[in-house]
Every structure is written in C-alpha cells, then in structure tokens.
C-alpha cells in the first residue's frame, strides 16, 4: 500500500500509474496539463456557441452508468471534457455573453483559486489559520477604501467586513442580525409581527431570507415601483407602507435597498431611504451586488451617497470585479450584532486567542462554520459542516496584480461599450432605450468583450427583428 492506495505501476501493458492523493511531482506534471487545457479553452472560447445547444438528458447518453473500478488517465478525462462536457456548457466568460449579469474570471482570480486549492485550509477561526482571517480583514479594508465607505464600516471601528459566498448569504445574515436585535427589544413572541421591506425590483434572495428567518411571507413587503422613478424605491411610498403597518400593530424592522437591481439596474435613493430607516428604527441594508464595483470610479461613486446611514453594505466581487465566483464582501456597522446572532461556542472550537477576544473568528459572521483561502469541502462523523476559507486570497491577488487604476479602466471600458450599444439602439426607430412594457436586457461585462462583439450582438437583434416584422 502507498498513501492508502495499492501501487499499480506498470503491472500490465497499457495500464497507467495510479494517481496518488497528493504527490508533488504528480501535481506538477498534471497541473501543467490542466493549465494548458484551460488556456486553450480561453484561446478558443469565441468559437463556441454562447448558449449550450444540447437537449435535456444529453449527458447520461454519453457517460457510463457507473464509476470506473480502475483509474483512468488525465488525458482520457480531459478528452471527455472536450467532447462531452464543453458542449453542455453555457459560456459565461464568452465575449458574446450578455445575459443575467457579469461573472468575471481573470488570470489573477484563477491563480488565487489555484493557491487556495493548494493550501486547502479550514479557516473557521483565527487559530485554524491566522493568515486567512487577517488577510481577509486587510483586503476588505482595502476594498472599502477604494469604494470610499464610511470609517465605521472598517475593521478599525465597531464594524468591519467579511466575505460571504453570495449576496443571498449577505442579506440573510444581515436580516438575521436585525431580527435578533429587534426581538431582544420587543420579545421573541413578536416574531409574527416583524415586517421587512424592499422594492419589487429587489433580488428574490430577499424573500428567501425572510422565509429562512421565520418572517411571515405576507410580511415581506415588496414595495411597488414604476417608470416615474426609473424603478427605484420611493421614500414617500415606503413611509406610507411603514405607517400602515405600524397602525396595524406590526413591527417594521428591516429595509433592503439596491444599487443596480437585477431586472432593471435601478438605483434606490440611499440617502432618503436611510433617513426613513433611521426615523423608524429599521436595520438599513444596501445590496450593491451588481453595480457596486463601478463605484471604485470617482465619477460613479455618487450612487453610494447615503451609505453612511447603512447598517450593512454588500457588493459582489465575483460579478464585475475580475474575481472568480464566489466572493461577496459584506460590511457591517456593528459586528457585535452579527456575532450575537450567529455565534456558537462548542468546547472543540475554544482557544486562548478567541477566549481572550484578541482576534476575529469569522465563523460567527456567517451561516457555515468554516471558510476558505477557497473550495468547498464537508466533513462528517459528527464534525461540523465546514467550508474552506481564503476567498480573500483571490481578491487580494486581483487587487495586487491589477491595481486600482487598471480596475477602474476595466469598468470604464465596459460602460463605454454599453453606451455604444445604447447609441446603436437609439439609431434604430424600431427600438427604444426604456419601454414600460417589455424590455430586452443587455449586459456588458465579460472579460473578453470588445466593440466588435457589441456590433455583432446588435446585428442579431436587428436581423431577428426584421424577420419578426416580416412574419407579422
């Protein structure tokens, strides 16, 4: 036996060597092959149809119905990836991808993922890997300063930042902290009276967070918006909703506003909404998952005016910030609110540094126990479910290998391309830039997108429209 596996070296002609669970030289050899494969994928990315053309159930017809008994070569596996997996991939990194939202990968982000996978640490508390916690604190302070967030959201104050997996997790932990904070004041039996607010353009994760937190579905208020405010949440309408709920004996406790809604890229008026929240003692959360990245550019920073009123603020680095999924920074005004809501202190997690309050333990700032430098893994046998930490490692590498000026240039270029597309639309009388009826949503943000891809996409719109009008 060798490393827990029986040695299979050249027992028969054509038989391959067994891949050991971890061997430095095997890793070196095979990782080079994998990097070459991925580099070739990106080199040829534009040749693939952006949207997968396969039919449901296609893969079960191509793969065996059980796993192999004996090891196969990496070459054979990669050949199957090329011929069987890639046809079933929708290519989010394609320069012709304009759906949903950007989901940027980058060379720096990819290198960070490699390093993260190599360390493969479990970073649920400071003592389990001090660098994981301390790097995350530093990197989120860097990013907060790039976004010009208020001082109280930095680690030097009572708040600070933590990297969640997604914006869905961010709004959930913020809502849980807000829930427990208000229930401590009004009593746990008041849970059925709690009401949370957002616009009807807000991401569906708000509704899911309410469901998980025990807020009744009918008490998740999605306030109606319209084209008169560019689909932003109206502070006046919100005040009316809150007044009606208070009059009905309900307890408003949470407001989620959005900078760049998924469906219409609406930006809520943060300053005015922050005042409404303050007047009514609501936790004020800002979800800037989609558009927050643009605010590192001074000319777009005004979209965050009012963030100083926020109890929590979130943006997704894995959308438009060249950081591979998943990496969703969340900053809070008062970290004790998160800790009081999410902390657990079993005997097997205690250590001197934590007990003396000398360090931060990010396990108390999130839903899972563990976190990474990053690739998920779970343990059983009565051990806690653990996710690895070091999302901060890839964000750190993105910030260092690109720098603020290049990141600003990257975002400005995408905005320039989006404006070019808008000009193309405006020049065709068959289209309008914002319809209150039915809209076509076009998202510019893929790392490889250039002007020729914008023009090609617009030609598809025009050609299909011509065919549609002829058929009618």
The yes-or-no verdict on residue 6 having pLDDT over 80 is: no
- What is the rounded average pLDDT of the residues 457-465? 88
Fold topology of 111-375+385-397: 3.40.640
Where exactly are the structural domains of the chain? 24-91, 111-375+385-397, 403-471
Handedness of CA 117, 118, 123, 126 (dihedral sign): negative
pLDDT at residue 307 tops 90: yes
Residue 187 in tokens: 């009593």
Greater pLDDT, 337 or 168: 168
Residue 425: the pLDDT is 87
- Kindly tell me if the per-residue pLDDT of 345 is higher than 50: yes
* Mean pLDDT along residues 441-454: 84
For position 389, what pLDDT does the model report? 46
Q: Whole-structure pTM over 0.75, yes or no? A: no
Over the stretch 230-287, which tens digit does the pLDDT of each residue have? 889 999 999 999 999 999 999 999 999 999 888 788 899 999 999 999 999 999 999 9
The tens digit of pLDDT for each residue in 430-440 reads 887 768 566 77
pLDDT interval class at 365 (50, 70, 90): low
The model's confidence at residue 373, banded by pLDDT at 50, 70 and 90, is very low
Percent of the chain whose predicted confidence (pLDDT) is above 90: 24
Domains 24-91 and 111-375+385-397 share a fold: no
Write out the chain in H/E/C secondary structure: CECCECCCCCCCCCCCCCCCCCCHHHHHHHHHHHHHHHHHHHHCHHHCCCCCCCCCCCHHHCCCCCCCCCCCCHHHHHHHHHHHHHHHCCCCCCCCCCCCCCCCCCHHHHHHHHHHHHHCCCCCCHHHCHHHHHHHHHHHHHHHHHCCCCHHHCCCCCCEEEEECCHHHHHHHHHHHHHHHHHHHHCHHHHHHEEEEEECCCCCHHHHHHHHHCCCHHHEEEECCCHHHCCCCCHHHHHHHHHHHHHCCCEEEEEEEEECCCCCCCECCHHHHHHHHHHCCCEEEEECCCCHHHHHCHHHHHHHCCHHHCCEEECCHHHHCCCCCCCEEEEECCHHHHHHHHCCCCHHHCCHHHHCCCCCCHHHHCCCCCCECCCCCCCCCCCCCCCCEEHHHHHHHHHHHHHHHHHHHHHHHHHHHHHHHHHHHHCCCCCCCCCCCCCCCCCCCCCCCCHHHHHHHHHHHHHHHHHHHHHC
**In the prediction, which pLDDT does 380 show?**
32
More confident residue, 323 or 377: 323
Q: Tens digits of per-residue pLDDT, 150-166?
A: 999 998 888 888 888 78
Write down the number of H helices and E strands in the chain.
13, 7
* Mean pLDDT, the chain, whole residue set: 80
Q: Which tens digits make up the pLDDT trace of 42-90? A: 899 989 999 889 888 888 888 888 777 777 788 888 888 899 888 988 8
Q: What is the dihedral of CA 65, 66, 72, 75, to 10 degrees?
A: 30
332 and 153 Cβ atoms separated by less than 8 Å: yes
Q: Are 254 and 283 in contact (CB under 8 A)?
A: yes
Q: Kindly state which CATH superfamily the domain 24-91 is placed in.
A: dopa decarboxylase, N-terminal domain (1.20.1340.10)
């Amino acid at each position: 036996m060798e490393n827990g596996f029986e040695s299979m070296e050249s027992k028969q002609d054509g038989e391959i060597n067994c891949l050991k669970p971890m061997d430095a030289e095997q890793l070196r050899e095979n990782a080079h092959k994998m990097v070459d494969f991925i580099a070739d994928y990106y080199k040829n990315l534009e040749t693939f149809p952006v949207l997968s053309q396969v039919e449901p159930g296609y893969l079960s017809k191509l793969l065996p119905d059980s796993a192999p008994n004996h090891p196969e070569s990496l070459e054979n596996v990669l050949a199957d990836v090329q011929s069987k997996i890639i046809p079933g991939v929708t290519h989010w990194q394609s320069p012709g991808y304009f759906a949903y939202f950007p989901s940027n990968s980058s060379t720096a982000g990819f290198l960070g993922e490699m390093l993260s996978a190599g360390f493969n640490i479990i970073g649920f508390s400071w003592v389990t890997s001090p660098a994981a916690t301390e790097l995350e604190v530093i990197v989120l302070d860097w990013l907060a300063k790039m976004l010009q967030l208020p001082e109280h959201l930095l680690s030097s104050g009572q708040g600070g930042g933590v990297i969640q997996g997604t914006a869905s997790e961010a709004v959930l932990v913020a809502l849980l902290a807000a829930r427990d904070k208000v229930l401590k004041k009004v009593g746990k039996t008041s849970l059925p009276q709690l009401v949370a607010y957002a616009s009807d353009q807000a991401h569906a994760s708000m509704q899911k967070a309410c469901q998980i937190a025990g807020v009744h579905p009918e008490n998740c208020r999605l306030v109606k918006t319209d084209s008169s405010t560019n689909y932003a949440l109206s502070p006046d309408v919100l005040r009316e909703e809150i007044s009606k709920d208070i009059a009905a004996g309900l307890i408003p406790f949470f407001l989620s506003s959005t900078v760049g809604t998924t469906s219409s890229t609406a930006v809520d008026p943060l300053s005015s909404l922050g005042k409404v929240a303050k007047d009514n003692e609501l936790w004020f959360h800002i979800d800037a998952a989609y558009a927050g990245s643009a605010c590192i550019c001074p000319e777009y920073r005004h979209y965050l005016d009012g963030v100083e009123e926020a109890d929590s603020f979130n943006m997704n680095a894995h959308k438009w910030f060249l950081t591979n999924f998943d990496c969703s920074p969340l900053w809070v005004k008062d970290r004790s609110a998160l800790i009081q809501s999410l902390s657990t202190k079993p005997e097997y997690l205690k250590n001197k540094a934590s007990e003396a309050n000398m360090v931060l333990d990010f396990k108390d700032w999130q839903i899972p126990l563990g976190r990474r430098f990053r690739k998920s893994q779970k343990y059983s046998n009565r051990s806690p479910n653990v996710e690895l930490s070091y999302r901060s490692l890839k964000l750190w590498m993105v910030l260092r290998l690109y720098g603020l000026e290049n990141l600003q240039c990257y975002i400005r270029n995408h905005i320039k391309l989006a404006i070019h597309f808008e000009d193309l639309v405006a020049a065709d009388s068959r289209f309008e830039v914002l319809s209150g009826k039915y809209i076509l949503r076009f998202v510019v943000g893929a790392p490889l997108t250039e002007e020729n891809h914008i023009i090609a996409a617009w030609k598809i719109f025009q050609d299909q429209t011509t065919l549609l009008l002829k058929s009618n």
